[in-house]
Structure 1
Amino acid sequence: MKKKFPSSQLIINEDGTIFHLHIKPENVADKIILVGDPGRVALVASHFDNVECNISSREFNTITGTYKGKRITVVSTGIGCDNVDIVVNELDALVNIDFETREEKDTFRQLELVRIGTCGGLQPHTPVGTFVCSQKSIGFDGLLNFYAGRDEACDLEFEQAFLKHMGWTGNMCAPAPYVIDANAELIERIGKDDMVRGVTIACGGFYGPQGRELRIPLRDPNQNSKIEAFKYNNMQITNFEMESSALAGLSKLLGHKAMTVCMVIANRLKEEANTGYKNTIDTLIKTVLDRF
């Protein structure tokens, strides 16, 4: 018997669009680029040969078009793993649930999702301007812990080593991080040999969770130095951002291919930052479009 999704689980607007994104199934391409900034959607789409649709709802902007014969959708997620939970689940529903019958479709449609973002570098070999492919992501957000299949999808040995290193084992007030791999084929295709293969921490916030201290003192002032010193099977944590773990985790559970590639705009060790990155991230966008 097919699984049926009631209106409380799958909310469809009166115009036939899905609840948050406000787009219809026919608006979604198999290749999808995700960006955090709604304004960056237009920058990605400026390279398209033509545009089919341009739809905005809240922080979610969607443009579908064609780039060198490839049909591509670009969607803004806003900031954080909670928004990625909305975007990935709704994109999957649009292509794998029949909106007329509210039943799962007989044929599964696999999506390829690449997030293009910015991040903070944590190692000497990730200076400002570096392109980092998140080969593994450590989710400080806890999102994947609410889904069945989480343990089977994650690297549990890596998780335990990281928890022990941070001193979080058995600490109920500490995060419950999960470690998830991006899709290996996408990493090879997009990252090639000119991007750093990284281990990325996806944080649940921009300030305290990333070790920034303004007027509220940090619970663990040594958190970042411990993160920078962590090593596991010759891997080090390369960068901070806020979405890669949810994207890789949800996509893996749903059967889609996903990865994140970011440009480093600040490096903690070198104490450098580039606030004019918007003029140079277009290089990363064009690189991803050509390799997608």
Structure 2
Amino acid sequence: MLNKLAASELVLNEDGSVYHLNLLPEDIADKIILVGDPDRVAKVSKYFDTVEIKKNKREFYTHTGTLRGERITVMSTGIGTENIDIVMNELDALVNIDLKNKEFKTEHKALELFRMGTCGSVNPDVQVDNMLVTQNVVGLDGLMHFYQDYNFENEFSKNFLEKFPYEKIKPMLYFSDWAEEMGTYYKDAKYHGNTATFPGFYAPQGRQLRLKAVDDKFLETLNDLGITNFEMETSAIYALSKLLGHKAITVNNVIANRRRGEFSADHHASEKNLIEWVLE
């Protein structure tokens, strides 16, 4: 790859900020909390001691400030791994590419990324309104197959692939895992588990309205293969972090148990507990 990037590859706004996130390098901290919902950004940053940056474009809202003397950023990604693809590449560009000259920097900077979200569980033993940290993740969206250099395998991925029965979906699968050293932040989480990242909310998550999902046992099958919970972003965050040299961990609040048909009685209170617990 050439060191000099074409204007069509690294697209910038008129002020030199990265195209979608609308951010300059000085706008972000080295520790970044990623949330899906733009409305959740202010719910997080209200706990900061100071807020110095507030920027947004489309669904990407960013607040940067300080918490207990340390600079910190919270950013919304929107829903899905396609949005994570944008967020991860543009965050990396902010710290590892000279935007003015459109050249790679000689020294690499690693960000610490904390996904703070909600999820559903496929394990009937997991109780709602509790925190779950993702250790292993399988992506069912196919994103990482577009990246030439991505290759990941561990015991979880080998066992999952060997027993996964859905041949039409199997070519889309890819795997990753957490930055284990970041697990010390949240070692007291009630659950640590294996997450499935889905490319949609309805059939990919086994929901059926007027259209039929792949079968009626999909979530149960995933649980039998070692999956604890599901959501829509973590596989891309973990995998792209590995490829780009960053560190990532996901902490999700379990707001639904699909196998038991349960949903949080007060998911707003549950969200507040998640924010306070993660920031603690």
Please tell me the TM-score bracket, short chain as reference.
over 0.9
Structure 1 counterpart of 2:183, one-letter code: I
Q: Indicate the RMSD between aligned Cα atoms, in angstroms.
A: 1.6
Within 5 A, what are the aligned runs for 1:126-165?
A: 126-151=126-151, 154-155=152-153, 157-165=155-163
Question: Could you tell me which amino acid in structure 1 is paired with residue 177 of structure 2?
Answer: D
Q: Is the 1:28–1:95 contact (alpha carbons within 8 Å) kept by the matching residues of 2?
A: no
Aligned-pair CA distance for 1:216: 0.3
TM-score w.r.t. length of structure 2: 0.95
1:177 counterpart residue number: 173
Q: What secondary structure is seen at the aligned counterpart in 1 of 2:94?
A: helix
Deviation by residue 1:223-281 (Cα, 9 ceiling, x = unmatched): 12211222xxxxx2110100000000000110000011100010012211026312222
Counterpart mapping for 1:46-57 below 5 A: 46-57=46-57
Give unpaired runs (5+ residues) of structure 2: none
Are the equivalent residues in 2 in contact too, given 1:35–1:77 (CA < 8 A)?
yes
Q: CA deviation at 1:219?
A: 2.4
Match of 1:250 among 219, 240, 245: 240
Structure-2 residue corresponding to 1:233: none
Aligned-residue offset at 1:194:
3.0
**Residue 183 of structure 1 aligns to which amino acid in structure 2?**
A
Between the aligned partners of 2:26 and 2:169, the Cα distance in structure 1 is 44
Q: Distance in 1 between matches of 2:60 and 2:273?
A: 23
- Secondary structure class of the residue paired with 1:237: coil
Does residue 166 (structure 1) correspond to residue 161 (structure 2)? The answer is: no
Distance change (3 Å), C-alpha of 1:175 and 1:221: farther
The aligned counterpart of 1:218 is: 213
Indicate yes or no: 2:74 matched with 1:74.
Answer: yes
| CA gap 1:256/1:214 in 2 versus in 1, 3 angstroms | same
Number of residue-to-residue matches in the alignment: 280
> Any idea what the Cα deviations from partners look like across 1:157-204, whole Å, max 9, x if unmatched?
533432332313xx3455521120110011222x21333111000000
Q: Structure 2 CA distance, aligned partners of 1:275 and 1:93?
A: 41
**Which amino acid is 2:175 matched to?**
V
Question: Residue in 1 aligned with 2:229?
Answer: 239
1:277-288 matched pairs, under 5 angstroms? 277-288=267-278
2-structure distance, mates of 1:157, 1:121: 22
Q: Are residues 1:259 and 2:249 paired?
A: yes
Q: In 2 relative to 1, CA 173–269 (structure 1 residues): closer, same or farther, beyond 3 Å?
A: closer
In 2 relative to 1, CA 156–146 (structure 1 residues): closer, same or farther, beyond 3 Å?
Answer: farther
Unaligned runs of 5+ in 1: 231-235
Structure-1 residue corresponding to 2:258: 268
Q: TM-score normalized by structure 1?
A: 0.91
